[in-house]
A and B are shown apart, each in its own frame.
Chain A
Amino acid sequence: MMISDKPARPDKQVAIQVERPWLEAWNMFKKNRAAVAGLIILSSIIMISLLGPLAFPADPFAGAGPLLSPPGERGFLLGTDQQGRDILVGLLYGSQSTLMVGAAAAAITITIGILVGALAGYYRGWVEEVLLRITEFFQVLPPLLLAMVVVLLFSPSIVTISLAIGIVSWTSTARLVRAEFLRIRELDFVKAERAIGSRNARIIWTIILPNAAPPLIVSAALSVGVAILFEAGLAFLQLSDPNVMSWGYLISVNRPQILEAWWPVTFPGLAIFITVLSVSLIGDGLNDAFNPKLRQR
């Protein structure tokens, strides 16, 4: 159709995009108001988690007032929980471990996903067959149940929780990486690299992987959100590290009293929601920035 038939002459904009894709993506990202808002919110949360405990030195586990004091009363902005602990202090101190579990679990997810996906997509043949079967195997197991089993058997701590989340959620990353590798390995610059006899490891890690980065970054951002939700879900099932304050821990200990006191569960949940929302807005923004053509969606 006429509309799509553009003249085949070199276009300045296209040239910029090819030469400086990251700058182009950043410029696109900046224009996306929702994504910028997400970035600002997430940065603030990270700042608060780092500076909050310094500004309000306190023991988050210590009772600070009457039990289940409603928000706004007796100087407790967000109220106290069933052991008289200040919810606001709990949120401030809990943010660090929640963010840490989110980041660590996402890092594990992405690492396993890249390893499996890259090897399957690059080597094809029996390697791919075996790795795909393993991926399918992990897709058959309900992720939360498997994580529950792992955390229960090896007792809940920040490390086991991060590991468990990483182990159960890498499959979609692996599929994504494999698809990217299958596509990129057929491109001319990869073929050229192979023709001059480069080692496979070099082609995989320094030639193909950087070119698969854009969708991977988006996927990594989204896995951070998934991991935070996961940690909260495990905590809701009483599987959280009892020695470390986290948002999930606040939910798990205060859950039995929800009908008498809504605030000790509501505020941590809200904090989780806002954090995951900001991560997801950033992810969407990155996605749009890397795929300008899909922006209509």
Chain B
Amino acid sequence: MNLPIAIARRVGYALILLLAVLVLNFTLLHLAPGDIAETIVGESGGASKEMLAKIRKDYGLDLPFHEQLLNYLDRVAQGDFGHSLFFDQPVTELIFEKLVPTLLLVISSLFIAIVFGTFLGVFAARRPSGLLSQLITVLALLGYALPVFWTGIMLVILFASLIPIFPTSGMDSGPLGASGVGYIWEVLHHMTLPVVTLSTIYLAFYSRLSRASMMDVLGADYIRTARAKGLSEQIVIFKHALRNAVLPVVTFAGLQFGALFSGAVLVENVFSWPGLGTLAFESILRRDTPTLLGILFFSALVVIIANLLTDLAYRLIDPRIKTGAKA
């Protein structure tokens, strides 16, 4: 019906959320003990009170909170998220370099988890007490209880020395590596272990979710109607049941994008994947607050965009959602 209006509303709402993230960022920075001036001075090896005061004045740190906030928002609006003291580079530049590898990792893991998870769940739903179904229950337990970085470390130990068929570090073979199609292959090769590590947790989760949802749907009246038409079991399952059964999967994919990002931070650090997570870890080691806050902002942005897309996908799958109702 009013899809454009609904989308416009969602986008407007997303902008407000982003503004809120910025305010939170700034407030956290402001509340934390110590300030940029001390950091700068600390870097250059101690200094007098006069120097601290001068730096504070230069950076506008002596202004009242709301004025500092407005200055901050003004800079952000111009795309300036500050300067990374350690990397000596604008934060935005740093983040854009690392954003693509992270998205590659996160999106492929989510894709694999959803596609395979849904299929496993669908087959398991047909035999709720069968072997596959029990396997999913066990996998879901493991997926919940295993620390994701620890699983990754175990894979590194396994593949670094015992079965060295997959690289355990980095995203490519460096300057000596291949180019063109060979490069794509190289990246895929490097991606294997990180993606396996990250997707396994969610694979278990989505197979369990889609199994439950599929079992619900298979008991629905319209499935009986579909069978009464004489449709084959494949069409009943994959046309009539599946589309209804994936709705909760879509909802959760949107809700979990943030958690997936968290998992990616850990997995990137295990496999030295050159993404935002590794950058975040480096900024922790260097106490590089502007960079860390920039990462927080951009990952929130990605999560918001992901939520908009899931919302859109949900509308495409389920015709009942036509108004501006939220997902």
Interface residues, chain A, with chain B CB atoms under 8 Å away: 136-137, 139-146, 148-150, 152-155, 225, 229, 232-233, 236-239, 251, 255, 258-259, 262, 265-266, 269, 272-273, 276-277, 279-281, 284, 296-297
Tell me whether A269 and B292 are in contact in the complex, defined as CB-CB below 8 angstroms, given that A237-B266, A297-B212 are known contacts: no
Residue in B31, B153, B261, B293 with the greatest tally of chain A CB atoms within 10 Å: B153
8 Å CB contact of A272 from B147, B263, B296, B303: B147
**Minimum distance in angstroms from B144 CB to a CB of chain A:** 5
In the complex where A259-B156, A265-B153 touch, is A152 in contact with B147 (Cβ < 8 A)? no
Nearest A-chain residue to B152, judged by Cβ: A236
**Interface pair A145/B149, CB less than 8 Å apart:** no
Could you say which of B46-54, B238-246, B280-288 contacts chain A? B280-288
Q: A266 is contacted by which of B154, B259, B280 (Cβ under 8 Å)?
A: B154
Q: List 23 A-B contacts (CB under 8 A).
A: A140-B258, A141-B24, A144-B261, A144-B265, A148-B280, A148-B284, A149-B292, A153-B29, A153-B289, A229-B147, A236-B269, A237-B266, A237-B280, A255-B153, A258-B153, A262-B157, A266-B150, A266-B153, A272-B150, A273-B145, A277-B141, A279-B145, A280-B145
**Contacting pair B255 A139 (CB below 8 A):** yes
Query: Which B residues lie within 8 Å of A269 (CB)?
Result: 147, 150, 153-154
> Which residues of B sit under 8 angstroms from A145, Cβ to Cβ?
261-262, 265, 280, 292, 295-296, 299
Q: Which residues of chain A come closer than 8 Å to B150, judged between CB atoms?
A: 232, 251, 265-266, 269, 272-273
**A238 contacts B141, CB within 8 Å?**
no
In this complex, how many residues of chain B approach chain A with their Cβ under 8 Å: the count is 51
- Shortest Cβ distance from B295 into chain A, in angstroms? 6
Q: Which of A143, A232, A237, A279 contacts B284 (CB 8 A)?
A: A237
Interface of B is mostly: helix
CB-CB < 8 A to A259: which residues of B?
A: 156-157, 160-161
Which partner residue on chain B sits nearest A231 by CB separation?
B147
Cα–Cα, bound, A149→B24 (Å): 11
- In the assembled complex, B122 has its CB within 8 A of some CB on chain A: no
Question: CA of A272 to CA of B144 in the docked complex: distance in angstroms?
Answer: 12
Are A232 and B147 interface neighbours, CB within 8 A? Answer: yes
Whether B304 sits at the interface, judged by CB under 8 Å, is yes
Residues on A with C-beta less than 8 A from B147 are 229, 232-233, 236, 269, 272-273, 276
Q: Do residues B157 and A258 form an inter-chain contact, with CB atoms below 8 A?
A: yes
Asked whether, in the complex, the Cβ of B269 is within 8 Å of the Cβ of A142, the reply is no
Residue of B nearest to A144 (CB): B262
Contacting pair A237 B269 (CB below 8 A): yes
Please, which residues of chain A bring their CB within 8 A of the CB of B258? 139-143
**A278 nearest in chain B by CB position:** B145
Q: Which residues of B contact A273 (CB under 8 A)?
A: 145-147, 150
Residues of B in contact with A (beta carbons under 8 Å apart): 17, 20-21, 24, 28-29, 31-33, 128, 141-142, 144-150, 153-154, 156-157, 160-161, 212, 215, 255, 258-259, 261-263, 265-266, 269, 280-281, 284-285, 287, 289, 292-293, 295-296, 299-300, 303-304, 307
A259 to chain B, nearest CB (A): 6
Q: How far is the CB of A109 from chain B (nearest CB, A)?
A: 14
Give bound CA distance, A100 to B299, whole Å. Answer: 30
With A258-B156, A273-B145, A280-B145 already in contact, the answer to whether A153 and B31 are too (CB < 8 A) is yes
Contact across chains for B265 and A281 when beta carbons are under 8 A apart: no
Q: Which residue of A lies closest to B263 (CB)?
A: A144
With A and B bound together, what is the CA distance between A136 and B304 in angstroms? Answer: 10
- Residues of B contacting A265 in the complex (Cβ-Cβ under 8 angstroms): 150, 153
Contacts of A276 in B (CB 8 A): 144-147
Q: In the assembled complex, which residues on chain A have CB atoms less than 8 Å from the CB atom of B212?
A: 297
Among all A-B residue pairs, the 10 with the closest Cβ atoms:
A144-B262, A269-B150, A153-B32, A142-B261, A277-B145, A276-B145, A142-B258, A236-B149, A142-B262, A142-B299
In the bound complex, residues from chain A placing their C-beta under 8 Å from that of B29 are 153
A225 touches B145 (CB 8 A): yes
Closest residue of B by beta carbon distance from A232: B147
Partner of A146, one of B33, B161, B215, B296: B296
CB-CB under 8 A for A140 and B21, given A269-B147, A273-B145: yes
Choose among B24, B147, B215 the residue with the greatest number of A CB atoms under 10 Å from its CB: B147
Residue ID in chain B nearest A168 by CB atoms: B262
Tell me, in angstroms, the Cα distance from A273 to B141 when the chains sit together.
Answer: 10
Q: Is the CB of B20 within 8 A of A143?
A: no
Give the interface centre of B150, B266, B280 by most chain A CB atoms within 10 Å. Answer: B150
How distant is B50 from chain A, measured CB to nearest CB, in Å? 27
Residue of A nearest to B133 (CB): A297
Tell me the bound Cα distance from A219 to B29 in angstroms. Answer: 32
- A260 → B minimal CB distance (Å): 10
